[in-house]
Amino acid sequence: MRTAHRVEKVRTAEAELMARLPDGALMQRAAAGLAAACADLLPRVYGSRVVLLVGSGANGGDALWAGARLARRGAGVHAVLLAPDRVHTAGLAALTGAGGRVADDPFDVLATADLVLDGITGIGGTGGLRPDAVPVARAARGSDAVVVAVDLPSGVEADSGEVRGEALRADLTVTFGTHKPALLIDPARTCAGTVRLVDIGIGPYLPSVPEVEALHHADVARLLPRPTAGSDKYRRGVVGIAAGSARYPGAAVLAVAGALRGGAGAVRYVGPAADAVIARFPETLVHAGPPAKAGRVQAWVVGPGLGEDADAVRDVLASDVPVLVDADGLRLLDPDAVRARSAPTLLTPHAGEAAALLGRARTEVEAARLASVRALADRFGATVLLKGSTTLVADPGTGVPVRADAMGTPWLATAGSGDVLSGLAGSLLASGPAARDAASAAAHLHGLAGRLAAARGVPITAQEIADALPAAWRGVRDPG
């Protein structure tokens, strides 16, 4: 699992460790890891042209010290000083001592660079790139050089993943000690490129509960149900799907398609699309409704393609089993009914639905995804899965890390994809895990299924995502 900590926690941990080490030792560890990562990217260090973008803080210091290491190995290193009067003096002395130079014209050296090190700002940066840094960052991106961000791509907000203004776009980010939330959450994440973590020894001083975590295949595999010899279909869990309408029967079929590949022992469909569901999936148990009379279920999914059936939403929310609310269900739900529930509730909005639930603009939600998912979870007292290029899953309150999942692919943005996800997540929910675990496992499997279905870059349908779910289960359980 990758874990990310807030700046305040990183600074506290660094201070505790620094108090036990000689002056500057931590920066040397960072610079050594950074220089090694740069050397890995260059065909050869000797003779390569390296440009350092150097801001006013220790982030610039890291870049200068790493530049000095590369210069000692024969690289031609130029430093672009964005705040010459506040430069890290020891770092600059090390660079010039190793043969590096201060650039006269940033654009000249950037035009011929092989590698650019972005040390403008790290965890101390806020408010996006300053106006004088914008053309330099653009020239770096527009050059043929590989761009390596030091700790964070400059211009992102470390704690929230927001980008207030413009940020540098890196190919690789070398981060120190722990990930920062911005490296796991969009829009900042997309500026970071590949992320490499360098251990500088602060791990033991960081809190055990991170701010954000991202599950690997093995973490997800541990969350997936596995039937035992004593299992029957009821013990494995029955998931009820209240979805579809005369106008949108396909949503019911796709939610059932996801649910059938989610590990529940049986799928019970309730609603007006029973004929379409049975025609496609004869193994489904069907019922015309209402949900309360449908028979035993261990979790409900309500909402995909539901149209205006507010009664179904009310009925399902009144049950005492875990409930997932999606799509039309999110529009029709009574917030008080959600808050009053004693069994777990999982809401699965995309940014537009989240915006409507919060009474904000969609662009605000997209710009501040971490804050939005937390606000929704708190407002509804429910687990919330916020869809997007990275999926976020939050529980209400503080003290529980938000889960971020970037397994998906833009090809997943296709009609019906969300219906498959809600069926899948509901099916997992019926087998007993916490809503947060069911949601994050579902997001990961759904993302991987999308990747597998879209392999070699072909457009995919929602049905193909569902069809790829068994391969995604295998991929997660046996990645080799």
Distance (Å, rounded) from C-alpha 470 to C-alpha 480? 16
Binding partner of 14, given K ion, ligand NAX, none, CB within 5-8 angstroms per partner class: ligand NAX
151 binds ligand NAX (CB under 6 A): yes
Binding partner of 100, given ligand NAX, K ion, none, CB within 5-8 angstroms per partner class: none
Contact 242, 258 (CB under 8 A): no
Q: Which residues contact 73 (CB under 8 A, 6 or more apart)?
A: 39, 45, 46
Q: Write out the two tokens for 159.
A: 């704690």
Closer residue to ligand NAX in complex, CB, 176/380: 176
Closer residue to ligand NAX in complex, CB, 25/471: 25
Closer residue to K ion in complex, CB, 139/149: 149
Residue 404, annotated as binding a ligand: no
Binding partner of 176, given ligand NAX, K ion, none, CB within 5-8 angstroms per partner class: ligand NAX
Binding partner of 56, given ligand NAX, K ion, none, CB within 5-8 angstroms per partner class: ligand NAX
72 class by beta-carbon count within 10 Å (0-12 exposed, 13-18 middle, 19+ buried)? middle
Total of residues contacting ligand NAX (CB under 6 A): 27
> Which residue from 295, 396, 305, 390 is spatially nearest to 345, judged by alpha carbons?
396
**Beta partners for residue 117, in sequence order:** 52, 148
Least spacing, CB of residue 25 vs ligand NAX, in Å:
9
Q: Give me the 54-83 binding string for ligand NAX, x by CB under 6 A, dash otherwise.
A: -xxxxxx-x---------------------
30 binds ligand NAX (CB under 6 A): yes
Binding partner of 149, given K ion, ligand NAX, none, CB within 5-8 angstroms per partner class: K ion
Residue 96, annotated as binding a ligand: no
Q: Write out the two tokens for 380.
A: 């509804």
Closer residue to ligand NAX in complex, CB, 149/394: 149
> CB count, 10 Å around CB of 457?
7
Closer residue to ligand NAX in complex, CB, 61/100: 61
Binding partner of 27, given K ion, ligand NAX, none, CB within 5-8 angstroms per partner class: ligand NAX
> Which residue from 58, 116, 66, 53 is spatially nearest to 88, judged by alpha carbons?
58
Least spacing, CB of residue 74 vs ligand NAX, in Å:
24
Least spacing, CB of residue 132 vs ligand NAX, in Å:
9
Closer residue to K ion in complex, CB, 42/149: 149
Least spacing, CB of residue 63 vs K ion, in Å:
8
352 binds ligand NAX (CB under 6 A): no
Residue type, 201: G
Interacting residues with ligand NAX between 190 and 229 (CB under 6 A): 200
Closer residue to ligand NAX in complex, CB, 115/200: 200
By CB under 6 A, name the one of 45, 98, 176, 195 that touches ligand NAX: 176
Residue 389, annotated as binding a ligand: yes
> CB count, 10 Å around CB of 2?
17
Binding site residues, K ion, CB under 5 A: 118, 149-150, 154
Residue 228, annotated as binding a ligand: no
Residue 154, annotated as binding a ligand: yes
Least spacing, CB of residue 127 vs ligand NAX, in Å:
5
Residue 62, annotated as binding a ligand: yes
Interacting residues with ligand NAX between 113 and 142 (CB under 6 A): 120-130
Binding site residue list for K(+): 59, 118, 154
Q: Give contact residues for ligand NAX (rule: CB under 6 A).
A: 14, 18, 26-27, 30, 55-60, 62, 120-130, 150-151, 176, 200
Binding site residue list for AMP: 387-391, 418
